[in-house]
Amino acid sequence: MKQYLAFDIGGTQIKYGLVDEAGNIISSELMDTEAYRGGPSIIEKVIEMGKKIIESHRVAGVAISTAGQVDINTGMIVGAGDTIPNYTGVEVRKLVSEALGLPVEVRNDVDCAALGEQWLGGHDVDNFIALTVGTGIGGAIVIDGKMYSGHSFSAGEWGYMLVEGKPFESVASVSGLISLANEYKEKRDWTGKEIFALYDEGDAEIKRAVNIFFKHLAIGISNLIYIFNPEKVIIGGGITARGEQFLQEVQGEVQKYLQPSFYKNTEIVLAKLSNHAGMVGAVYNFITRQNING
């Protein structure tokens, strides 16, 4: 069975390892992104690690999932936020392919996560949207079974849309939740886990902060449901570690903002592949694009 070298480049860490053609994770490791060094430095790290791995493993290609807006035809970064400086314009596919002597495919990380869910998540729908709620908020759109990327590969960047006058990801991401905790409780280095622990204990200030967070998240999700009329909304990202309780909280809040017919006909679920969705989806993207182009 063929195996592929997969990378999932995030703003904080790079996940990497081997994934076979059935989507099974053979190995998975982490290294720091060191994003402050800039995009070209990150790709140098990817190449260096890739060289080490292919010395002892036979791989059929390199599948890359990355933050930023990616031209899927050229594998170039066409846009990137402040998290990774000097990333726009980096020709990721060309650089990695020339250095490793292997075919390479590159796609946006949330698109890859959605492709992984479509492939192995068992959702059994052709129309869905995916959100990742982490440091920021990312999105992906699947219509009639096909990923929709937009004319400049930027569809699903709804972290930038406004909710009550502020960017969605500034008020409904984990970073937004931490900002609310700093505002209503006390300024400190919060984690989402700490905030929800106090919320579950009934802390009044934290409860106010979390309620505002859920309100903003629900307004954003509701707007997206009105626009896309998806069969499912698949939510991923670190915050989903809260599990079924988080899902019920989101569903209950979304119900406040949706017309009954929309709520009835849209299933809100959690992602199934958790932290490996990006790597798995990157491999699925590699296989499908190589089949199309080859």
CATH of the domain at 90: 3.30.420.40
CA–CA distance, 52 with 55 (Å, rounded to integer): 5
Cβ-proximal residues to 243 (8 Å cutoff; 6+ apart), any chain: 270
Distances (CA, A) of 228 to 133, 141, 223: 19, 9, 9
- Region 33-61: mean pLDDT is 96
Phi–psi pair at 252, nearest 5 degrees = -65, -40
pLDDT band at 202 (very low <50, low <70, confident <90, very high): very high
pLDDT digits (tens, 9 = 90+) for 140-149: 999 999 999 9
- Region 161-175: mean pLDDT is 95
- Region 111-122: mean pLDDT is 95
Q: Is the pLDDT of residue 207 over 90?
A: yes
Phi–psi pair at 164, nearest 5 degrees = 50, 40
Residue 119 lies in a domain: no
Helix runs in 92-203, H state only: 92-100, 109-120, 168-172, 174-184, 192-201
Residue 118 lies in a domain: no
pLDDT digits (tens, 9 = 90+) for 233-248: 999 988 888 999 999 9
Instruction: Look at the chain and report how many structural domains it folds into.
Output: 2
* 136 and 262 fall within a common domain: yes
Q: Is the pLDDT of residue 123 over 70?
A: yes
Q: Is the pLDDT of residue 294 over 80?
A: no
* 38 and 175 fall within a common domain: no
Q: Is the pLDDT of residue 93 over 70?
A: yes
Q: Is the pLDDT of residue 253 over 90?
A: yes
* 99 and 128 fall within a common domain: no
- Region 139-168: mean pLDDT is 95
Q: Which domain holds residue 251?
A: 124-271
pLDDT band at 286 (very low <50, low <70, confident <90, very high): very high
Averaged pLDDT score across all residues of the chain: 95
Please tell me whether the overall predicted TM-score, pTM, comes out greater than 0.85 for this model. yes
